[in-house]
Structures are given as C-alpha cells and as structure tokens.
Amino acid sequence: MALAGLVPWLVVPFGDGYSLVLSVALANPETLSLTSVYHYVFVYTRELPTSLLAWPTATLLYGSGVASVSLARIGREDRRVTAGLFALAALDVCYAAVGFSSYRVGVVALPLGAAFLALAAWTSRP
C-alpha cells in the first residue's frame, strides 16, 4: 500500500525527455523541478479540463485509502471501503493517463501507478 504512493503514477514522455507524475507532485527530472498537487490545481493551472483533474482526484482517493488503513489500528477500518478507495484511485490514474495523452499528439502517458494501486486494492479487500 505504501509502495503505491512512492512509485511514479504516470510517466509522460515528450520530445527527448519525460515527466513523472507522483502521488503528490509533478516532477521533471531534467530540470529537477517539482510542482505540488496544490500548486498544479490552484496556482499554475486554473480552470483545468476535467480529464487533467483526474490526477489530483486520484491523490485525494489514495490519501483517503491510507487514512482508512490507519483506522485499522483502532479497529474501525472497513476493508471494503479501503479496497474501493484504492481501486477508484487506480481507475482515476488510468483516466489521468488518457487526459495527459490527449493534449499532445503522439504522446502516450504510461500509468505505472495504476498497477500498484490495484494491488493495494486487491490486498485490502475483505
């Protein structure tokens, strides 16, 4: 489950470089720059198309899943909810890949994190 938050969710190739979409930031390894989810949504890119808001939504779903897992420490976790949150985050990462891919001709974003989120959903199921 923690591994799903550490691996790049999307790899977006462009020209001779690529960008990494992590759970909490958009990273460009060539320039060593990071853009947080907060800045992506509220500062740099106002009025985003719905498909490009899939990544922040997936981050919110993943964070909710992690919070749900933490409820297991006090015996209040519903594993169906946890598995559902991770599964929805995986689907949302796939939708984000479609969104990022649709804005550049010939660019196909690779949704690596979707597999790890789906695995987190599978291991969290009742």
Q: Give the model confidence (pLDDT) of 41-69 as tens digits.
A: 888 777 777 778 899 999 999 999 999 99
Contact 114, 11 (CB under 8 A): no
Structural domain count of the chain: 1
Q: Which residue has the higher pLDDT, 115 or 2?
A: 115
Q: What percent of the chain has pLDDT over 70?
A: 100
Contact 21, 92 (CB under 8 A): no
Give the range of the structural domain holding residue 14, as residue numbers without chain letter: 2-124
Kindly report the average pLDDT of the chain as a whole number.
Answer: 90
Contact 62, 86 (CB under 8 A): yes
Whether residue 1 is predicted with pLDDT greater than 90 in this model: the reply is no
Residue 124: how many other CB atoms lie within 10 Å: 22
Confidence class for position 114, pLDDT limits 50, 70, 90:
very high
Query: What mean pLDDT do residues 91-110 have?
Result: 89
